[in-house]
Structure 1
Amino acid sequence: MKQSRYSPGARLHRQTSGAVRFSRTFTMVFAGHPARAAVSAFVLVISVFTALLALPWASADRHPMSLVDAAVTATSAVTVTGLTSQDPEFYSFAGQVVILAAIQTGGLGIVTLGAWLTLVVSRRLSLRTRLLSTESLGVSKLGEVPALLLTVFVVTLSIEALLTLVMLPVFVESLGIGEGIFHAVFYSVSAFSNAGFVLDTTSLTHPLIMTTINVGVFAGALGFPVVYMLYRMVFHKARMNLHTRLTLEMTAILLFGGAVVLAIFEWNNPATLGPMGTVDKLHNAIFASGMTRSGGFNTYEVTAQTDQTLLVTNVLMFIGGGSGSTAGGIKVTTLAVLLLAIVTEIRGDEHIRVHRRELPVSIIRVAVAVLMAGAVVVLTAVVLLTWVTGADLETTLFEVLSAFGTVGLSTGLTASAPDAGKWILIAVMFIGRVGTITFATGLTIRQQKTLYRFPTERPIIG
């Protein structure tokens, strides 16, 4: 018997067909190697937000900004960096909403968002989509992807909502209900996404706002795999894995170690911590240390810091945050693996062991590759940027490291650089967000399997 087009069976068939068509369309868009798909997704989304920000209504005076300035802002928002060539007051409310949408999109991740939509519509993930998600989020098992994606969305929206509620009374009291709500939402998204975007230059002076933003940045920089592991530990009594342990340990060491060093060199600096009381000095030192590895918020001019603090800041920006997080840089687990390899060689041990686990030799190669690739990107960008801007090495190095680590702290070079310099910083922000290994793999056409081996010979090292 022929089914009516309005029967439940027909409606179910149409819904199923729609889900299949959506899944096939998503697969076609992200066809190819997962790394190449991730690169393509970010390029596409950055292009869309660039076009939106280049429109006249995105600026407060209704005069459209240049294409390169729009590209700087869009890339900075999607890569959750925070470097801009315009003051916060330049953008209209509509422009600020576009930036907020770009930050949230970049924070959640283009790949994660697409995979989640496929999961919601089709109720399952294809193998290609799961591979794409593992590449983006650092998940080792395909079976963990759906649960991780659900955790990403729930945890992200929950933490951002909590941060908004904490900051809401302060903003409403000073700005009114409507503007106060928007400021609270904007800063919560910017903090947890580690974007560093601000709507004005005076909001961070309030102690409650500073503390809330610092907590949001810390949580966002841990990485979604770590958040997922912590969720499983709390609700499913799972045991902490090695990645989570190393990430938490290195994050704590860098946060408090950086705060101690910063406090030592800035304690009596009249342009930074000098005029503050003891409690405020400690608070600002911890805040500044946390911001150097991805957050990008600042309560004083970074150029006013001592040379020693600037050097430490450069190192922390290059390291970045946790793997699978919104932070850039080489990541804290890369640093942990390299340090463990050094300690192992000093001790003369044959295998790298930590927390009753043994690290495979292949992970050392990956860590060295990430470190060297990051160094090559930074070195190349510094050489090119000093050439086109004429700025000194210290200023240029700081700006490039801030872009590569998707930090957002600036010496002002991004705003004053010529168009060629801005395009260089755009490229560095993009590479820092997508990741040097993912970016390089995305440009590789195919991988060839080695079918033969050469004799082994050891060159002299050191």
Structure 2
Amino acid sequence: MASRTLRTLPRRAAQRGVRGFRRGAVRPLQVIVAGFAAGVGVGTLLLMLPASRSGPGGASALDALFTATSALCVTGLTIVDTPTYWSPFGQVVILLLVQVGGFGVMTLASLLGLLISRRLRLGSRVLAARETRSGALGDVRAVLRGVAVVSLTVEAVTAAILTLRFAIGYDNSWSHSLWLGVFHAVSAFNNAGFALFSDNLISFATDPWICLPIALAVILGGIGFPVILELVKQHRRPSRWSIHTRLTLLMTAVLIVGGTVFVTVAEWSNPGTLGALDPAGRTLAGFFQAVMPRTAGFNSVNPGEMNTGTLLGVDMLMFIGGGSAGTAGGIKVGTFAVLLLVIVAELRGDPDAELFDRRLSPATIRQALSVALLSVAAVVASTLVIAMTSPFSLDQILYENVSAFATVGLTTGITADLEPWQQLVLVVLMFAGRLGPVTFASALVLRQRQRLYRRPEGRPLIG
């Protein structure tokens, strides 16, 4: 009876379950934030060990903290060269942090608990449901299994393709090729952007057997687990896809195609980026650079050589990000689409913003506006603080800050040259960008309340 009740809990009952901890107890969102903070702390300590560094002695506290935060928040920004600075042990630590960050700390903890005890307590279900944005609490176990299966399957297939290419196409040993394949597959699906080459993937800019599998893994990780799981279950019946799935797929396709055209055209004749490649290579690199800003930090050309206008366009792609409840960052494509629909409705004079024959609720619109404006405030404030004390240009600083907040990991090359306190600003941005939009949006949902009265309407002048 209790099990059946959990499976059929409606949304309001689920919200009461989230609040159902004892009065004064720690809220689920606070536990998630604390879990990520603890993960950063553990990762920092592990990377400070002498065994984690390839050179003498251990890494400095700042180097370890920055790298651990970047890995757990699946960003990819670095202030040291990953393949030369970190030892194989240190690289394994980074890989594990990326995997944990992609799963989600609470999701992974709940999954491990499910594997060990074969059941989850209500508190664990609440935390996992909030982090994965699954529906009723009774569905959490199925969602956790689905997340694990999807993640490991995509990573395994991508790793196999990359391993074969690194071994056969580049004459690496099979053991080294396997390590390269696994590392980049995990980094790609979790949208981390860490690479084991000092130039990231610039050496493979025209190699489709390297770029396309990585790009596909990045796209799958970026659209979000709810979309992937629904596509697996309903792949033959698109008419039954949820609004979230249809919106995410539509916006992802539009942004990838539009981004590819924009980057390719803008950089076609730039000798520092696409201009040095043949036409087929330019097209592949343009597509690759359109996919990566929305989700991951791999780069097959040097962003520092891009035109100023291209950097601004990439800033916009990074800020929008990918799908909800996935490994991508940014404000998410759903939030961006809601804002666009509100503008369209206002320009047309329609009383309601509509999506797929459905009316968007005022609560959804308010949440989208709040998430977007607070995200803009975070990026603007951090950019202003660094720009006032930095010799770098505004477009470089803005690019760096948007990349950190959107957990992308692309850089114009100035990260390592920033002052230590400025690097700490990026640490805070990465942490806030990984947890801020999702936790804030969830908090807005949980804080909804009914009022028994409404005040008279007021209309201040707009514009």
TM-score (norm 1): 0.89
Alignment match, 2:6: none
How many Å apart are 1:238 and its aligned residue?
Answer: 8.2
One-letter amino acid of the counterpart of residue 53, structure 1: L
Q: 1:140 to 1:340 in 2, by over 3 A?
A: farther
Q: 1:32 to 1:452 in 2, by over 3 A?
A: farther
Give 3-state SS (helix, strand or coil) of 1:86's partner: coil
Q: How does 1:297-312 map to 2 (within 5 A)?
A: 297-312=298-313
Alignment match, 2:340: 339
> C-alpha distance in 1, partners of 2:125/2:370?
25
Deviations 1:184-222 (Å, cap 9, x if unpaired)? 000000000010001013563432111111111011100
Q: 1:378 to 1:210 in 2, by over 3 A?
A: same
Q: How does 1:281-292 map to 2 (within 5 A)?
A: 281-292=282-293
Q: 1:388 to 1:135 in 2, by over 3 A?
A: farther
Alignment match, 1:204: 204
Q: 1:143 to 1:340 in 2, by over 3 A?
A: farther
How many Å apart are 1:340 and its aligned residue?
Answer: 0.9
CA contact (8 A) 2:312 2:395 kept: no
Alignment match, 1:4: none
Deviations 1:78-126 (Å, cap 9, x if unpaired)? 0010001001211111111111111111111111111212323343333
CA contact (8 A) 2:304 2:413 kept: no
> C-alpha distance in 1, partners of 2:38/2:320?
27
1:32 aligns with 2:33: no
Alignment match, 2:181: 184
CA contact (8 A) 1:194 1:295 kept: yes
> C-alpha distance in 2, partners of 1:313/1:239?
34
Q: Which 5+ residue runs of structure 2 have no aligned equivalent?
A: 1-20
Structure with the greater alpha carbon radius of gyration: 1
Give 3-state SS (helix, strand or coil) of 2:388's partner: helix
CA contact (8 A) 1:328 1:435 kept: no
CA contact (8 A) 1:50 1:70 kept: yes
How many Å apart are 1:458 and its aligned residue?
Answer: 2.1
> C-alpha distance in 1, partners of 2:448/2:347?
35
How many Å apart are 1:235 and its aligned residue?
Answer: 8.0
1:169 aligns with 2:164: yes
One-letter amino acid of the counterpart of residue 378, structure 1: V
How many Å apart are 1:447 and its aligned residue?
Answer: 8.3
Deviations 1:361-388 (Å, cap 9, x if unpaired)? 1100000001011011101111222234
Which has the higher mean CA deviation after the structures are superposed, 284-293 or 431-440?
431-440
Alignment match, 1:60: 54
CA contact (8 A) 2:308 2:395 kept: no
TM-score (norm 2): 0.89
Alignment match, 2:99: 104
CA contact (8 A) 2:267 2:275 kept: yes
CA-atom RMSD in angstroms: 2.3
How many Å apart are 1:266 and its aligned residue?
Answer: 0.7
How many Å apart are 1:448 and its aligned residue?
Answer: 7.7
Give 3-state SS (helix, strand or coil) of 2:213's partner: helix
> C-alpha distance in 2, partners of 1:396/1:343?
32
Alignment match, 1:239: 240
CA contact (8 A) 1:118 1:125 kept: yes
1:43 aligns with 2:37: yes
> C-alpha distance in 2, partners of 1:142/1:340?
31
CA contact (8 A) 1:388 1:418 kept: no
1:423 aligns with 2:418: no
Q: How many residues align?
A: 434
> C-alpha distance in 1, partners of 2:237/2:261?
37
Q: 1:97 to 1:437 in 2, by over 3 A?
A: closer
CA contact (8 A) 1:73 1:84 kept: yes
CA contact (8 A) 1:273 1:284 kept: yes
CA contact (8 A) 1:80 1:194 kept: yes
Among the aligned pairs, what percent are the same residue?
41
Q: 1:292 to 1:83 in 2, by over 3 A?
A: same
Q: How does 1:128-147 map to 2 (within 5 A)?
A: 128-147=123-142
Give 3-state SS (helix, strand or coil) of 1:104's partner: helix
Q: How does 1:61-460 map to 2 (within 5 A)?
A: 61-88=55-82, 89-173=84-168, 174-200=171-197, 201=199, 204-205=204-205, 206-234=207-235, 239-436=240-437, 438=439, 450=451, 453-460=454-461
CA contact (8 A) 2:43 2:68 kept: yes
